[in-house]
A and B are shown apart, each in its own frame.
Chain A
Amino acid sequence: MRRLLVIFAVVACMLHVPGVFWPGAFLYTDASASHAIKLIGFFAMLGPLVTGAVYAIGAARRLEPGNRARPAWTLLSGWLACFALGEALLGVYPHVLGVALPVPSPGDGFFLAGYALLVLGLVSFVRVYMTSGLPLGRPLEPLLIGLVAAVVFAVIGFRVLSPVANTHHAAGESLVTLAYPVLDFVVLVPTTVLVRLTFRFQGGRVWRVWGSILAGFVSLAAADILFAYFDLAGMSWLDPLETVGFIAGYTLAALGAARQYALLGE
């Protein structure tokens, strides 16, 4: 399954990337070919989200009741499930109803709920890992890293997103355009702490699990921030890169969940 996810993601990315350099090519101008590529991109995002949610809940269930990491894996699965529902709803408009996506759409509710679960899950992982009894650093280290990361991301976020905030979007559009990058910056704070914590597992299977998941978060954050910028600059021809970022992010997160599931079953 892991190999299938990677192959599908690579194929989908390879179909999207040329659209940036040759937007006038037949594949991207012909209505049905273009629709087919968008459909492949949609499934390349939905597929990893669904499988990732299943693997993450499977990993939670493979941990014995009472294991302190179990709720954190459940929250991670909840994040992937909410995003899968959000993505599925986003896909209904262009691919089933054949109409343009309303902004905001019902899918946005699931995405926002997913972010809440993700942040809770990541904070829970940090807390559980720090108190696991393994030598993962001084007790105050995660707090300090978190504080520094919060300040750095707040400054970067303000500089990057303030031009987007000053554009004349409708209220709903502003919510979609701004909320996701802002939430991504929030997610990057516990992500930075987890990078530091899990980096100590280098060479082990635990590191491969977290290397995938955390790389996925970075890819998703980059995609959201690029989306905000492209939207502001009217550079819609760069949209395929955003899709590639989402495909890579969801696939990496799903791979991490699948690796954890496999690790617990061995």
Chain B
Amino acid sequence: MGGPGQVGRETASARTKVRPGRGHLVTDFVYRGRVTPGARREVLISAIVVELAPDIGESLASAAGRMHLEKLGLMGPFIEGPDIDRVLAALEPGLRVFVGKRNTEQTIARIRARVLPDGGKP
């Protein structure tokens, strides 16, 4: 992960929180003047890959993450919290078919915990 300057030229900056065992994945962004929970695009994809790879393989996990981001039109350098939820909601039905509802919910919760502060809890 780089410094705030790499996020974009707009007004974005990142405050990276360090959580034991989770590295630097959890981040609040100051985006257009307001603090918003979110994650860099690549961080979100990394979290999806880390959590989905044991079940569906690294290559498909990465392709699935990128495909849903693209389908939802989330092409920017970082993704805000509600959009992260949309991406994860889009992943859910596909995963359920292969690993069932319970595993899918646990996996989605782990991805949220990796990329959103306090696992996305308000």
A153 to B98, CA, bound (A): 29
Interchain CB contact under 8 A, B58 and A135 = no
Q: Mark B85-105, 1 if CB is under 8 A from A, else 0.
A: 000001101111111111100
CB under 8 Å from chain A, chain B span 43-87: 52-61, 63-64, 67
Interchain CB contact under 8 A, A204 and B53 = yes
Q: Mark A108-141, 1 if CB is under 8 A from B, else 0.
A: 0000000000000000000011001111100000
Q: Which of B63, B95, B98 has the most CB atoms of chain A within a 10 A radius of its CB?
A: B98
Q: How far is the CB of B54 from chain A (nearest CB, A)?
A: 6
A132 to B101, CA, bound (A): 13
Interchain CB contact under 8 A, B99 and A203 = no
A201 partner residues in chain B, CB cutoff 8 A: 56-57, 60, 98
Interchain CB contact under 8 A, A204 and B93 = no
A203 to B52, CA, bound (A): 11
Label chain A's interface by main secondary structure: loop
A206 to B53, CA, bound (A): 10
Chain B CB within 8 A of A202 CB: yes
B98 partner residues in chain A, CB cutoff 8 A: 69, 129, 132, 134, 201, 206
Interchain CB contact under 8 A, A67 and B96 = yes
Interface footprint category on B: 20 to 34
A201 to B95, CA, bound (A): 12
Q: How many residues of A contact B (CB 8 A)?
A: 24
CB under 8 Å from chain B, chain A span 223-266: 263-264, 266
Interchain CB contact under 8 A, B57 and A134 = no
A205 to B98, CA, bound (A): 10
Interchain CB contact under 8 A, A133 and B63 = no
Q: Which of A129, A206, A264 has the most CB atoms of chain B within a 10 A radius of its CB?
A: A206
Q: How far is the CB of B93 from chain A (nearest CB, A)?
A: 5
Q: How far is the CB of A132 from chain B (nearest CB, A)?
A: 4
Interchain CB contact under 8 A, B93 and A132 = yes
A202 to B56, CA, bound (A): 7
A266 to B91, CA, bound (A): 19
Chain B CB within 8 A of A200 CB: yes
A200 partner residues in chain B, CB cutoff 8 A: 57, 59-60, 63
B59 partner residues in chain A, CB cutoff 8 A: 200, 202-203
Given A201-B57, A202-B57, the answer on whether A135 and B67 have CB atoms closer than 8 Å is yes
Interchain CB contact under 8 A, B55 and A133 = no
Given A63-B100, A129-B97, A264-B100, the answer on whether A134 and B54 have CB atoms closer than 8 Å is no
Q: How far is the CB of B107 from chain A (nearest CB, A)?
A: 11
Residue of A nearest to B106 (CB): A266
Partner-A contacts on B (CB < 8 A):
52-61, 63-64, 67, 90-91, 93-103
> 13 more A-B contacts (CB under 8 A) besides A134-B60, A204-B54?
A63-B100, A64-B100, A129-B98, A132-B94, A132-B97, A133-B93, A134-B95, A135-B60, A202-B59, A203-B53, A204-B55, A204-B56, A206-B55
In the complex, 30 of the A-B residue pairs with CB atoms within 8 angstroms, ordered by the A residue number, are A62-B100, A63-B100, A64-B100, A128-B97, A129-B97, A132-B97, A132-B98, A133-B93, A134-B56, A134-B60, A134-B94, A134-B98, A135-B60, A135-B67, A200-B57, A200-B59, A201-B56, A201-B60, A202-B59, A203-B57, A204-B52, A204-B53, A204-B55, A204-B56, A204-B60, A204-B61, A206-B55, A263-B55, A264-B99, A264-B103
